[in-house]
Copies of this chain bind each other. A is one copy, B any other.
Amino acid sequence: MKGLMQDWPLLVHTVIDHAAQYHGDREIVTRSVEGPIRRTTYKAVHSRARKIANALQSLGLGKGDVIATMAWNTDRHLEAWYGIMGLGAVCHTLNPRLFAEQLVYIANHAEDKVIFVDLTFVPIIEGIADQLSHLKHVIIMCDEAAMPDTKLKNALCYETLVNAHSDDFKWAKVDENDACGLCYTSGTTGNPKGVLYSHRSNVLHALAANNADALGMRSIDNVLPVVPMFHANAWAIAFAAPAVGASLIMPGAKMDGESIYELLDTEKVSVTAAVPTVWLMLLQHLQSSGKKLPHLNRVVIGGSAAPRFMVEAFEKDFGVQVFHAWGMTELSPLGTLGSLKAGMENLPIDKQIDIKIKQGRPVYTVEMKITDDDGKELARDGKAFGHLMVRGPAISREYVKGEGGDILDADGWFDTGDVATIDPDGYMTITDRAKDVIKSGGEWISSIELENVAVGHPEVQEAAVIGIAHPKWDERPLLIVIPAQGKSPTREDILSYMEGKIAKWWMPDDVVFVDEIPHTATGKIQKLALRQTFKDYELPTANLEKGAAE
């Protein structure tokens, strides 16, 4: 027996309809790429999004076409998102931080027909346009006055194009399961893989994100998403904020401490979200300038683990609540968020921070568990660590064009590739990437935990840990260290520093000193490259074992 409720599909353009109707005057404030602050409203964004849909239609584009953006967080980027998605097309966010060859691969794989591009990134597109086999138009997101002298064929001026069209456009009739957004994961191995969001997944993700224990945005909030719209769906904010009528403060191209501080202050931002690097710059700016954060209520930190001192600085020095979040492109991206549970608000602040530095707990609509190599679920005791598996309506079931093959197990769980613990309260802590974990005698050692301990040594600038083949234990950890400027710590200095801070059997079997550790375009340590470099490395303990066996 079916229910008798309305067939009201979950479509992202209903979000901007709602914002325009009930929060039409709420502002979107942008630090424009050209420089000055620009102010618009949801009503205007709604109108201009429909003009963009008309403009794209006039260029011969429509339902199912893939239209890319390479742009900062701005009002125009927001308009473009809703215009593209409201046309029934797919908005593909290109990450300008990727290498040119990756961008070419991705844009061709996605079959991007149009690219909306910010002034900043015109040179990138100029460099690769000839290799983009599906590209028909490049729309430069500025007005005529700011149009660059470009060698791009088919370059159009955004403002001229938008203003040449009427806002009389009826959003496309689409199914809620139709695709509307596309974002490639940069993956450390293999080709980048496309995550294809549906209208339904984005709407459900925004509804879940808006619950009061998650992002919990309200119409009275002024929200500054530093997290870029070209990265992992902007953590839901471009959908979740208009759904409740929160004002959006868009940082454009400037994410240094002073620029972010200026917006937090002048626009009375109450909620903001970014990766730790951004908050490090902000805290340094606050420290050197002696400024405070009287308006800011909540800061969401994700992308990588927030160091404890950062959480402490926000909570203790500035009275700002910190929420650690964890997610990934394949999760739309929010998986967990670290709001406190009943009773925890009465804990001493340091105990609260013990919880707040964990990656958080899943909100309803995300299912989560940890398993061993055989797929057996492990205890939620905060100690056992295993493969982090997730299910939910805003989680990938496969990549574009089947890249990477089957990615769900028989019960529909997606393997995040992370290794984590879950504590009895449901708070999850990432302990490693599955492929980086060191398997020693059937037990797992977290490379990340070893790195975190090692970098605590005052003479260590950066540390990386990889597993090296071992005749007895399968793998044992090798610690790779860049010494701090002008320092020359010894192997023994570092290992004795680590003693007592980790289990004895976790102690690295050797330490090597290097000048450089390779990183990906998005700043992660390239462990694959390190494993390649050290593939023939022989651990002293391996020799001992061999010696003993001989």
Q: Which of A1-9, A100-108, A490-498 contacts B (4 or more CB under 8 A)?
A: A1-9
Complex formed: what's the CA distance from A466 to B255 in Å? 64
Q: What is the total number of copies of this protein in its complex? A: 2
Q: Is the CB of B178 within 8 A of A2?
A: yes
Residues of A365-411 contacting chain B, CB below 8 A: 365, 367, 391-400, 408
Residue of B nearest to A390 (CB): B6
> What 0/1 pattern do residues 242 to 254 of A give for CB contact below 8 A with B?
0111010000000
Q: Is the CB of B341 within 8 A of A5?
A: no
Q: With A6-B412, A397-B7, A408-B6 as known contacts, state yes or no: A220 contacts B345, CB within 8 Å.
A: yes
A197 contacts B by Cβ under 8 Å = yes
- Contact for A5 among B5, B198, B210, CB less than 8 A: B198
Instruction: Report A's interface with B, CB cutoff 8 A.
Output: 1-8, 10, 14-15, 17-18, 21-23, 26, 64, 90, 175, 177-180, 195-201, 204, 207-208, 210-213, 216-220, 243-245, 247, 332, 339-342, 345, 361-365, 367, 391-400, 408, 412, 414, 425-426
Residues of B within 8 A of A6 (CB): 391-397, 408, 412, 414
Between A and B, 27 residue pairs with Cβ closer than 8 Å are A1-B196, A2-B178, A3-B179, A4-B179, A4-B397, A5-B200, A6-B396, A6-B408, A6-B414, A7-B397, A15-B364, A18-B364, A21-B426, A22-B362, A22-B425, A204-B207, A207-B207, A207-B364, A207-B365, A211-B211, A212-B217, A213-B219, A213-B244, A220-B342, A243-B364, A244-B364, A247-B342
Complex formed: what's the CA distance from A220 to B345 in Å? 9
Q: Is the CB of B211 within 8 A of A339?
A: no
Complex formed: what's the CA distance from A17 to B391 in Å? 13
What 5 A-B pairs have minimum CB-CB distances, sorted nearest first?
Answer: A3-B198, A5-B201, A8-B393, A22-B426, A4-B196
Q: Is the CB of A341 within 8 A of B219?
A: yes
Complex formed: what's the CA distance from A237 to B8 in Å? 22
